Copies of this chain bind each other. A is one copy, B any other.
Amino acid sequence: MRYLATISYDGSLFDGYQIQKKGRTIQGEIQKVLTMINSKNEVIIHASGRTDAKVHALKQKIHFDLDKEFSCDDLKKSVNSLLPEDIYFREIDIVSDSFHARYDVKAKEYIYMINLGEYDPLKQKYIFQYNRRLDVFEIERALKYLEGTHNFKSFSASDDKESYERTIIEAKVIRDIKNIDILTISFLGTGFLRYMVRNMIGTLIEIGEGKRKSEDIIKIIESEDRTKAGPTAKPEGLYLKDVLY
A residues sitting closer than 8 Å to B (CB atoms) are: 8-10, 56, 58, 80, 85-88, 90, 118-122, 124, 126, 178
Contacts and interface: CB of A to CB of B under 8 A. Distances in A.
A119 B80 contact: yes
A181 to B, nearest CB: 14
Contact of A86 (B56, B118, B121): B121
Contact of A88 (B9, B80, B86, B121): B121
B178 A124 contact: no
A90 B90 CA distance: 37
Contacts of A88: 119-121
A8 B122 contact: yes
A85 B121 contact: yes
A124 B8 CA distance: 12
A123 to B, nearest CB: 8
Contacts of A122: 8-10, 56, 58, 86, 126
